[in-house]
Amino acid sequence: MPLHPKPSFSLKSSTISEASKINIPMMVNSLKPKNRGRSLFLFYCFIFIFFLCVLASINEVRFDTLLRFGKCAISSNTLATTSSISEEPELRILIAVLTLPDQYLRRHFLRLIYGSQKPEGAKVDVKFVFCNLTKEDQKVLVALEIMRYDDIIILNCTENMNKGKTSTFFSTLPEIFNETNDNNAPYPPYHYVMKADDDTFVRLNALVESLKPLPREDLYYGFVIPCGSMDPFKHYMSGMGFVVSWDIVEWIHGSDIPKKHVEGPEDKVFGDWMKWGRRVHLLKNQEKWIRTLNFFNFTRDLNPSKMYHIS
């Protein structure tokens, strides 16, 4: 048989090999741009993430600064509020309304009246004062009032009008307010004490303003009704409402004069105490009159004129 040349697959193989030798580098070269683009993409992603981290840290610092500033502002406002609350008012006044245990509606009405007034520059406390309770319903109802309002003083006496109730009240006050266990309590507990009836209307702001220029010691202050039953030249104030300074309250507590004279019209009896104890200072000479008139600036309304020169 004729011999046919054996197909040489080596040529083809070599051809393939050569092709592969030629093509593989081409494939590798073709892959290089793709890898470079992926690297650039990862690099930009890293840069972007780093930028976000830096931005977040800056914002966090700013937030912490704002937060600390806000806390400081809140603390400053709190301190300002606390200091304004803790500041003691210029005057401390106790208004004692002498009444009877059964006058529930009257007390509630007066709480509305005085609670709706906002005196400026003074702390004004209103307390209702009466003698010992004698009925079972009083013990329950008054106890509820005390639990709700804490504005009642019960004296150790039998209820009366002109037999020592006023004396008992003023004598008891230092025992109630001076002998406290609070070392931070101010002294005196009240600069002034006003005794008032439960049918008397007191304008709190007017009372405060009238007391501000007056002395805080040795003061007996009130008003005499000019009616036929009273002599305005006698030295006592109308029982519907008068004011004394705290030093006089302490004097009543320790003096024997009030203890020896308790019965009679309570406003006149009180005036007798002031007179006998020399607590009322009369204007016996012109010098005292001049000092008093100057103190109250009595001539402030004098009109200027070419007819006189008074500086």
Backbone angles phi, psi at 260, to 5 degrees: -90, -10
Question: Is the sign of the CA dihedral 64, 69, 73, 79 positive or negative?
Answer: positive
Answer yes or no: pTM beyond 0.95: no
Asked whether the beta carbons of 114 and 126 are under 8 A apart, the reply is: yes
Fold of 89-295: Spore Coat Polysaccharide Biosynthesis Protein SpsA; Chain A (3.90.550)
Q: What is the DSSP letter of 196?
A: E
Q: What is the pLDDT along the chain (311 residues), one digit of tens a residue?
A: 444 444 443 434 444 444 444 444 444 444 455 566 666 767 767 776 766 666 555 555 444 554 454 444 433 343 333 333 445 568 999 999 999 999 999 999 999 999 989 999 999 999 999 999 999 999 999 999 999 999 999 999 999 888 889 889 999 999 999 866 567 788 899 999 999 999 888 999 999 999 998 889 888 887 765 555 555 455 667 768 889 999 999 998 988 888 888 888 887 788 788 877 776 554 445 565 567 667 767 677 778 877 777 76
Say what the pLDDT of residue 306 is. 77
**How far apart are alpha carbons 270 and 167 in whole angstroms?**
8
- Domain assignments of the chain as residue spans, ordered by start: 24-87, 89-295
Asked whether the beta carbons of 132 and 156 are under 8 A apart, the reply is: yes
Which is nearest to 146 in space by CA: 133, 158, 135?
133
